[in-house]
Amino acid sequence: MNGHVAVLMGGWSKEREVSLVSGAAVATALKDTGFQVTEIDVHQDAAALLTQLYPIPDKVFNALHGRFGEDGCVQGFLNILGVPYTHSGVLASALAMDKPMSKRVFKEVGITVADHQILTREQLSQTVFGSKPHVIKPLNEGSSVGVNIIFEGDSYTPTEKEWPFGSHVMAEQYIPGRELTVAVMGERALGVTEIKTGHLFYDYDAKYSDGGSIHQVPAQLPRDIYDEAMRISVLAHKTLGCRGISRADMRYDGKDLYLLEVNTQPGMTPTSLVPEQASYANISFENLVVWLVEHAECDG
């Protein structure tokens, strides 16, 4: 037996269902490689989670996605318990999830990002951000939850019910071109994937529905652009202070690369990009999961 690992999955963010699939795949891989595994479906009840984590496992595999599982909250909880966990710590997780703040950090080290404004929902109908199309997105969600592209002639002022992501919205410059993503494992970029989809953009359904997208790895890019995408991804990983695995998403307009965001808890579902890139780098899903457990740690 390789030790006791608790797999946290589910949660109560908009990405709950995806997290359940990720967690189940991780739990199976760990069991198959000789670990004792406790699967924990996390709900908004700290006392229940504390009870479920006793006796304290050797490690925690954090398979939560979205708010409260990916933004530093559960990481702080695990730091208090002193149990090592996979992926990034509190600060890196919080920075990566906060899109305006992470953009500021990226710009400081010379990474190109799309211009943006932070607006209230009401200001969307009054303010023109540059020229259309532009993208609106929540300030702190993942998996393209809440993302919309606003085209010329469109008017979009979401109601409070339509926009359950707080009172403010990020309006971002739309970058035409190709969708690229790079997984970083430790401080090593595994490769560059180009994502192609028949959807308007790489939205939630395109990410997680069978046939929603086609992943081309390695991406067919000029060598210098391919290498630059990997360099930017490693730089972003290090700049945020990420641990374990992260995934950088970017756009290539035929001239420049624009970093959109860094995911500190990339999906581990059957259609996920990181396991696919790991396979391209000759790393099996089981070895990927075990590596993450072996490199689990607390902050401090």
Confidence of residue 249 (pLDDT cuts 50, 70, 90): very high
> Average pLDDT over the chain, rounded to whole?
89
Measuring CA to CA, which residue among 6, 80, 12 is closest to residue 40? 6
pLDDT above 90 (res 139): no
Residue 273's pLDDT band (cuts 50, 70, 90):
very high
Query: What are the extents of the domains in the chain?
Result: 4-87, 95-113+176-283, 116-173
Which whole number is the average pLDDT over 146-170?
Answer: 75
Using a cut of 0.95, tell me whether the model's pTM lies above it.
no
Q: Which of 22, 62, 88, 143 is catalytic?
A: 143
199 — pLDDT class (breaks 50, 70, 90): low
Residue with the bigger pLDDT between 143 and 238: it is 238
Q: Quick check: 10 and 64 in contact, CB under 8 A?
A: yes
Tell me, which fold does domain 95-113+176-283 have in CATH? D-amino Acid Aminotransferase; Chain A, domain 1 (3.30.470)
CA distance 137 to 168: 9
Q: Say if CB 180 and CB 192 are below 8 A apart.
A: yes
Q: Which residue has the higher pLDDT, 152 or 51?
A: 51
Mean pLDDT, residues 164-176 = 83
Q: Is 67 known to be catalytic?
A: no
- Identify whether 208 is a catalytic site residue: yes
156 is catalytic: no
d(CA 135, CA 111): 20
pLDDT band at 277 (very low <50, low <70, confident <90, very high): very high
Confidence of residue 148 (pLDDT cuts 50, 70, 90): confident
Does 15 participate in catalysis according to the annotation? yes
* Catalytic hit among 85, 204, 208, 258: 208
Is residue 228 part of the annotated active site? The answer reads no
Q: How confident is the model at residue 164 (pLDDT cuts 50, 70, 90)?
A: confident
pLDDT reported for residue 198 = 67
DSSP labels, the chain: ---EEEEEEE-SSTTHHHHHHHHHHHHHHHHHTT-EEEEEEE-S-HHHHHHHT-SPPSEEEE---STTTSSSHHHHHHHHHT--BSS--HHHHHHHHSHHHHHHHHHHTT-----EEEEETGGGGT---SSS-EEEE-SS--TTTT-EEE-TT------TTT--S-SEEEEEE---SEEEEEEEETTEEEEEEEEE-SSSSS-HHHHHSTTS-EEESS----HHHHHHHHHHHHHHHHHHT--SEEEEEEEE-SS-EEEEEEESS---STT-HHHHHHHHTT--HHHHHHHHHHT-B---
Task: Give me the pLDDT at residue 2, please.
Answer: 85
Does the domain made of 4-87 have the CATH classification 3.30.70.340? no
- Residue 285 pLDDT exceeds 90: yes
d(CA 119, CA 150): 15
Whether 79 sits among the annotated catalytic residues: the reply is: no
Q: Would the pLDDT of 91 be above 90? A: yes
Rounded mean pLDDT, 57-84 = 95
| CB burial of residue 292 (10 Å; 0-12, 13-18, 19+) | buried
Mean pLDDT of the region 37-59: 95
Whether 193 has a pLDDT exceeding 70, the answer reads yes
pLDDT at 109 over 90: yes
**pLDDT over 70 at 208, yes or no:** no
Q: Of the CATH numbers 3.30.70.20, 3.90.1150.10, 3.30.1490.20, 3.20.20.100, which one belongs to the domain with range 116-173?
A: 3.30.1490.20
Q: Using only C-alpha atoms, what is the Rg of the chain?
A: 19
Task: Look up residue 127 and give its two tokens.
Answer: 């303010």
| Residues 14-32 pLDDT 10s | 889 999 999 999 999 999 9
| pLDDT at residue 200 in the model | 54
The C-alpha angle with vertex 231 and arms to 200 and 266, in degrees rounded to 5, equals 50
Catalytic entry in 22, 102, 246, 263: 263
What percent of the chain has pLDDT above 70?
88
